[in-house]
Amino acid sequence: MSVRHETKNRIGWITLDTPPANALSHSMIQDIGRIVEAMNEDDDVRVMVIHGEGRFFAAGADIKEFTEVKNGSEFSDLARDGQRVFRQIETSGKPVIAAMHGAALGGGLELAMACHLRLADEKTKLGLPELSLGLIPGFAGTQRLPKLAGRAKAMEMLFTAEPITAAEAESIGLINRAVPEGTCLAEAEKLAEAIRYKGASVVQSIMMLMQHAETDPIERGQDKEAVQFGDAFEHPDAQEGIQAFLEKRSPSFRE
């Protein structure tokens, strides 16, 4: 399989497995979408991690497929399919972590940007090199990069098509953290573990409120937050969490 998946300790692991480059073919992207959808519906999964087998996370889209496209309309359809799957990840009801190593370029970086949290080992190169091919990013790279890295840096990365280091990616907010080489999966697991022990209902509330924060005026977002705050208080997990704090012990959430 080009995309493998398994669930361990309530963490859903999604592995891109077409080494060495893990180039994202159309079928791979569709597989990712189906797996994410299934894990979203699986109560045994609390958080997902996407990573790559071999030397790279994902070094871009499968360029060989481009030679099979007959016209611009088909090329646009290819972009829309990728955008749909990556938006599906972005709007997931469960956190998705990208654990990057080696290279996250083109479609690979666009996939990572659709995830909620991003880690990269210190040797990782990140970039959108499409202009070097006479193309532009097609999986919402022009839309997400400015939001994450800022408009000025995004334009520089897009126009030059040059990759940046993990350290620089961290400094501009493109990734959460650069980690020592060879430790990215372990660090992603630690992060996933920290999330999976939280109550599922409040994690989902945070996911929903963060999505509204991107589009709603702050007054509307505040109102939704107040409603969710009340709903959270009435959930048994809140009563357990408060009691555990008072008793100086770890909480035992139901979900």
> Which residues are annotated as catalytic?
110, 130
Nearest to 196 by CA among 32, 39, 16, 34: 39
Q: E-assigned strands of the chain?
A: 3-8, 11-16, 47-52, 96-100, 103-105, 117-121, 125-127, 164-165, 177-179
Cα 37 to Cα 32: distance, rounded to the nearest angstrom: 9
- Alpha carbon 101 to its chain centroid, in Å, reads 14
Q: E-assigned strands of 135-189?
A: 164-165, 177-179
237 Cβ neighbours under 8 A, 6+ residues apart: 199, 201, 202, 251, 253, 254, 255
